[in-house]
Amino acid sequence: MVNAKTDPSSKDLLLHKSNIKYYSSLEDKIPEQHIKHVVIICPEDDFDSSKPNELDLDSFDELSYYKHVIDIAKLSYPIIASEFLQNVLLIVSIYFVGNLGKDELAACALASTWFNIWNAMMLGMMSPTDTFLSQTYGSKNYSLYGVWAANSVIVTIIATVPIAGLVALCGPVMEFIGRETELAHAAGSFATRLVPGLLPYFLFKVLTKYLYVLAFNETYSHSLLSNAQYCTFRQAQNILAPSIWIGIIANAFNISINWLLIYRFGWGVDGSPWATNFTRAAQFVFLAGYILAKKKDDQTWLNFSCKNMSYEVMQPFYALALPGTIATSAQMWMGEALTLLASALGTNALDAHTIVGNLCTFLFLSFPMAIGIGASIRVGQLIGSQRPVDAKKCFHASMFLCISTQSALIVSLYSCKKWLSRLFTNDDEVSSIVLHLLSIMFIIMLGDTINVTIGGVLRGLGKQNWYLMSNLIPSWLFAIPMSIIFAFKMSLGIEGLWWGMLLGTYSSSVVGLIVMHWFVNWEDEAHQSLERLSSIGQLSKSSKMTCSLTSVSSIFTVAESF
């Protein structure tokens, strides 16, 4: 039993009915002096007036797995649509360049490889955004949501400067590592032309994260003593729809500008990076314009302040950014290292590897990654709102949904793999190699599904360091050496590289599952979320726990909501 009062006017700490079990488990962890009264808000019809100060904790049930699957599906599938449209842009560019010739495609491949190396670093650096936005929104601490969103934008702008310089070094680096001079120069020229579009591209990514978390509002069941509680997500159409429409418009624009610059103006392969830049700039302008027009009066509006960028405030962000950067980079760099190795096997092998690699990346980012984003958001919200049991169930539901979706996709693609092998090239030899690699790719896709779900959940928990452990060791101490042995020592060629990548993918899956099963303590993660969200620096040390608990728990209800 737990003491309860139905009058919220005297509260210091407000607990929602669905969290009584968990808060009672924190009884020994919360200093008594920080809480004067515990108030449980519940419907009048469900409150037993004969026992005004007692409620039976055992009568509350967590959400069912089925309900979590439905919730994560509602959250993820609109994200899939948005991410699919974003990733089609890459496929369109490869299609145009691939039809110019093998040499042009090879130059584009090396430049894209070099760009992806630093793009991965940037995405890892932005990974704390996933943690802080989802957990602050879950805790209904909207002012902090705006602070962390604004801080993420500032960090992105600053970090883009060195990233741009590194991208521009593509040509000299390719020549230094032994690529043919003509190919190295062509790749360097392509990469350098991508630099003007980097800032709008990265800012678009951050603002998209900002909208994804805002796209759904959480509502709760009014039944306090029912056998099964439930919650649903409402898609905020006026928030998420612009991301989808921007994707549709961007794709139409991208096709038009690629054709115009490459063929109509006769720029050839040089027209492709400029088309990419114009498309990225247009996307950012459209999205920023929408946010400025629609969100400026919202509680979650971006709160830019020099005070909020102090080291004391940003230290938790930096603490997550470092392992997040290394983890994401290790995962992406493995694929790009294989591309560099493929370039040593000849132009045909490189072209085939590029086609299959980009197709695999496109499918990965559009489907399982989108569900991973949904899992990250949902788990972060549940942890931020102090519902660790439901957060764990959400992880299991996300894994089931992701594997089911990916399996259906693999079956569909396998039936048309001959058509896929000729989609991006007219060269018979390259097409034949692509056909063989597709069979290996389908096996890899299932392992990627496990990895991306685990990665999304760990980001939502703020455990980028564990995500690093599950990626770095399998990728670099196992996958790369085995790829080299298969491809060069055992003379399996380009297929050997992919068999090595397959082993690395599944070894990473095994490590990730071990981490989730034996290392993640969901109750402790929820408690750590309280400390993380109170570290913004705006709370005094004496009242930090009180304020944090009040803001976190008050998210679930006000009396009027019943």
| pLDDT tens digits for range 87-118 | 888 778 888 998 898 889 889 988 988 998 89
- Among 153-157, 352-356, 412-416, 536-540, which is the least confidently predicted range? 536-540
- Among 45-59, 193-207, 296-310, which is the least confidently predicted range? 45-59
- Among 205-214, 339-348, 476-485, 539-548, which is the least confidently predicted range? 539-548
Residue type, 346: G
For 344-463, where are the alpha helices, taking DSSP H only? 347-366, 368-384, 388-414, 417-421, 428-461
Higher pLDDT, 222 or 3: 3
pLDDT tens, residue by residue, 307-330? 888 888 898 899 999 998 988 888
- 């909020």: which residue's tokens? 308
Q: How far is residue 190 CA from its own chain's centroid?
A: 27
Q: CB 558: neighbour CB atoms within 10 A?
A: 11
Q: How far apart are CA 398 and CA 391, in angstroms?
A: 10
Which run of H or E residues covers position 15? Answer: strand 13-16
- Among 57-61, 161-165, 439-443, which is the least confidently predicted range? 57-61
Residue pair 171/110 in contact (Cβ under 8 Å)? The answer is: no
Higher pLDDT, 446 or 333: 446
- Among 90-99, 123-132, 264-273, 415-424, which is the least confidently predicted range? 90-99
Per-residue pLDDT at 57: 36
Q: How far apart are CA 475 and CA 5, in angstroms?
A: 54
The answer to whether residue 13 scores a pLDDT higher than 60 is no
- Among 192-201, 319-328, 406-415, which is the least confidently predicted range? 319-328
In this structure, are strands 216-220 and 38-41 parallel, antiparallel, or unpaired? unpaired
Residue type, 234: R
SS3 228: coil
Q: How far apart are CA 180 and CA 70, in angstroms?
A: 52
Per-residue pLDDT at 541: 36
Which run of H or E residues covers position 474? Answer: helix 464-474
Per-residue pLDDT at 297: 56
The answer to whether residue 15 scores a pLDDT higher than 70 is no
The residue-averaged pLDDT of 174-193 equals 92
Number of structural domains the chain divides into: 1
Q: Is residue 173 part of a domain?
A: yes
For 231-346, where are the alpha helices, taking DSSP H only? 237-259, 271-294, 311-343
Q: 184: pLDDT confidence band, cut at 50, 70 and 90?
A: very high
For 468, the token pair is 């690093």
The residue-averaged pLDDT of 326-338 equals 81
Cβ-Cβ contacts under 8 Å for 347 (sequence gap 6 or more): 102, 103, 106
Per-residue pLDDT at 333: 78
Which run of H or E residues covers position 171? Answer: helix 170-176
The residue-averaged pLDDT of 365-387 equals 90
The answer to whether residue 230 scores a pLDDT higher than 90 is no
Q: Is residue 528 part of a domain?
A: yes
Q: Is residue 42 part of a domain?
A: no
- Residue 351 belongs to what domain range? 65-533
Per-residue pLDDT at 132: 92
Cβ-Cβ contacts under 8 Å for 541 (sequence gap 6 or more): none
For 549, the token pair is 């608990």
Q: Is residue 556 part of a domain?
A: no
Q: 295: pLDDT confidence band, cut at 50, 70 and 90?
A: low
Per-residue pLDDT at 503: 93
Per-residue pLDDT at 236: 36
Q: Is residue 518 part of a domain?
A: yes
Q: 433: pLDDT confidence band, cut at 50, 70 and 90?
A: very high
Q: 543: pLDDT confidence band, cut at 50, 70 and 90?
A: very low
Q: 56: pLDDT confidence band, cut at 50, 70 and 90?
A: very low
Q: 524: pLDDT confidence band, cut at 50, 70 and 90?
A: very high
Residue pair 71/378 in contact (Cβ under 8 Å)? The answer is: yes
The residue-averaged pLDDT of 200-227 equals 66
pLDDT tens, residue by residue, 106-153? 899 889 889 988 998 998 999 999 899 989 888 888 888 889 999 999
What are the C-alpha distances in Å from 300 to residues 35, 140, 224, 244, 451? 28, 10, 30, 21, 31
The answer to whether residue 234 scores a pLDDT higher than 90 is no
Highest mean pLDDT among 224-233, 332-341, 410-419: 410-419
Q: 275: pLDDT confidence band, cut at 50, 70 and 90?
A: very high
The residue-averaged pLDDT of 376-382 equals 91
The residue-averaged pLDDT of 374-401 equals 92
The residue-averaged pLDDT of 216-245 equals 45
Q: Where are the beta strands (DSSP E) in 123-223?
A: 216-220
Residue pair 133/213 in contact (Cβ under 8 Å)? The answer is: yes
Q: 366: pLDDT confidence band, cut at 50, 70 and 90?
A: confident
The answer to whether residue 499 scores a pLDDT higher than 90 is yes
In this structure, are strands 13-16 and 38-41 parallel, antiparallel, or unpaired? parallel
Q: Is residue 170 part of a domain?
A: yes
* pLDDT, the chain, mean: 79
Q: How far apart are CA 378 and CA 141, in angstroms?
A: 16
